Structure formats: C-alpha cells, structure tokens
Structure 1
C-alpha cells in the first residue's frame, strides 16, 4: 500500500532556505538543487534508506516528481517519490508530498487485488453453520415452470433451471468420478454393470447413478462408465503372472 505524508511546515521552510538562484533559463524543479531538496525531504522521514536518484518527471509547469531507489525491508521493488512545486516566476522550491510507491517495473511486492466475497467463494469453502444464499440472478434457479427441471412430488419456492442441471451434469462428467478420470481409465469393469451402482433415472438421466460401495465412491454421483477395482463382479482369485520373478522366502535358512 502507498505510504504518504505531507511535508511539514518545518521541512518546507528548510527547502526554501536551501534554494539557490540558478541560470536564467534553467528549471528550478529539474536541476541538481531540486534533487537535493527532494532527497532531504525523504531522509527526514527516517523510514528507510534513500538510494540513487532514478529520474524526474514533470507533472506540469510548476510541479515535478523526483524518484529515488528505496531500501526498505519488506518493500522490494518499491521506490521513493518526492513531489516538488515552484510558483511561476519564482525559484523557491517547496516539497508538496513524499511517498513510498510501487516502481513502474511491475516487480513490486504488493498485496493481491481485492476480490469480492461472491467471486472469491469456491466449492468446498462452505462449513458447518455458514450461510450462503444464492445470488438474486443465480441462473441455476428459476421461477418459470417452463424453464424448470420437472420434479415429481416436490414443491420448492424456486425451481432448478435446466441450465443448473446441465452445469451439474458437466461437472460430474469431467470430475473425479467421470469417464475420463484415472480410476475409470484403468478399470476393466464399469459401474453400469455393478450391483453397487444405483441408476439415478429422471431427470438426471441414464448415464449417472449413485455408488453404494463403502470401499469405493460411496455416496457419490458416478458416471455409468466410471469404474474401480471394487466392482461387484471382480473375481476373488488373483491372477498370478507365471513369467514374473520368483518370490524369495525370507524365513528359509540361507546356510
């Protein structure tokens, strides 16, 4: 964050006393004396090292900003700025403002940009006792029966929209229990033929169901082509690779 403080009256007085007359056509805001005035104002803060003069930028006919390297713990990539002013026709330079600001290189260590809570919340963030009301324009919900997913025997104040259902199906299809997950790709048997798979039916559709195997995806919605090693038809006997290495009996005497 920017750390700014207006120059004190005492500092302004010192700046006026330090002014020296220069050439008729020189700009008192840009000459070497202005650099000295700016540095003295920054050093008066006593809040960190003031390094070399980086440059100066005119902000108008009567105002300029002098930049200095900063050696302040915790503020890597920041720099000191001192804003000087001089009235038209005068050579007396005063200090308007001093600040520690992020350098234009973009390498300054800064806090991340603030994100509103509604945009920051993620699946899994909701905890016991937390409240998360849906947004007024939540497209997963609808008040129009024509856009609602039909649910027999249920009445709710608002209804699940067709878009809300399609988004859920897409999440399940591409999630950990979908057909492209690592478990599914390595499985030889799939959920559609498993006794532990309960098809969801309408309105979810025939491609999804719930796993009731406590040793697998118990209680999760799984795709019909998902699979695991706990399929109800998994053979009890293990197939041993006859060409594999011979097991070593570590209890047999070797002498």
Structure 2
C-alpha cells in the first residue's frame, strides 16, 4: 500500500506585515536610493508573522533582479520591524555562468604554442606503462586486413612500397605533427615519452604514432616521436606554497593592563 504524500501548505503572508508596504519601500529606498527601486512585484510569506515584499530593481546591469524586504513582528504585537533587505535574482535575471575549473573550460582547439595543460595523476584515460596496456595488438591479432586463414593474394591488391613509405614519412615529419615547429619548441616534453601516444605497427611504427589527446591540435593525427605540445601527459605546473600575510590580525591576543 503506497503512502499518501501531502503537499506542503503554502504559507500566506502575515496580514499585518503584508500591509506594511510603505515601511518596506522606505527601507529599500534608504538602502539603495529612490531611483534604484521600482514597483511592488509580489508579497509572499515564508514563516509565521512574516512577509516578504519584492520590488523591481532599476540598477544598471541588474535586469530581472528584485529587491526583497523581509518584515516580521512578535507574538500578539502589531509593531512591524525590518528583518532584512537584500537584492536577489528573479526568473529573468542576468546571471554569470556557473563556475568551472580551468581545466574543464578547455575545448579542442583552445591550445596554442606555449600552453601547458596538466594531466591528473589518476586520469582514467591513462594506465601505468608497466601495465602493458599499450602493447601492439597487431602482433597478436592480424586484424580485418589479414583475417583468419589469410594467405597472399586474398588481401589488398597493392600496399605502400618502401619508396611510398619514405615519402609519407618525410611529409609527416615536415608537417604540423613533426618536430620543427613552434609548438614543439615550447612543449614540456616529446610524444615519445607521452602517455597519449598510440603506437602503430609496421615499419612506420619505429618513428610515428597517433595522438589521442582530445585537447591537442594533432588529436587523431600522425605525430613523430620528437614532436611535442602543451598536452604532454607528464606536464605539471609549479605549485606555490608561500602564504600572504593577512592585513588584519584577528587571531593573536594582546595582553593589556590598565594602570
């Protein structure tokens, strides 16, 4: 048998506090100035013997914000007092975007020569080198180009020759994934030592690999072992441990005696 869930009753504003609109308006005008306060938007109640008056805000840069004045009174008292005056965002308020850590703000294409992005030590996309997770699977698995029971004549009709591989290697080394560019000169390390490098088999695997860092300009492209960028997996930024002295000392206690 399912339990019956009752909806919470909406609290009506206290009649006495709700009628004190002029008091609330005077309080917010004294706080913000007459020109910053607009018309009454709503009067709501949150607790017993309280009322919240909301006024439009006319401050520049605060479109959709509201001034809120909370009034209250004691039990069996008709004297209304001001509890709080605040500026709060409304449904159409212009707000700053939610805060994100710096590393989470980066997107592919944001890196430029000289930019260094730290890689967390516990990044789930990387495994320790001793784990063997990067061993060439092609040495054990022939792959779709060489299926089971493959024999010469059943695969591709032509493959790159030594001359073709040499031209490709020269082109790749001279391209953006090679060593002779500003990105590599400003990099903290090389691809041959980077955890984001995917190794490839065959003769080209002796000098080239595939970058798998989604923030790098070469993500998904061939890179040389001596190429580098700011996405180097072992890059770390120096951490500062210096402390700045506080301007106001609220901790120490001074002994003082009156003569």
When normalised by structure 2's length, the TM-score is 0.46
Greater Rg over alpha carbons, structure: 1
Give the structure, 1 or 2, with the largest relative contact order (CA under 8 Å, sep 6 or more).
2
TM-score by length of 1: 0.47
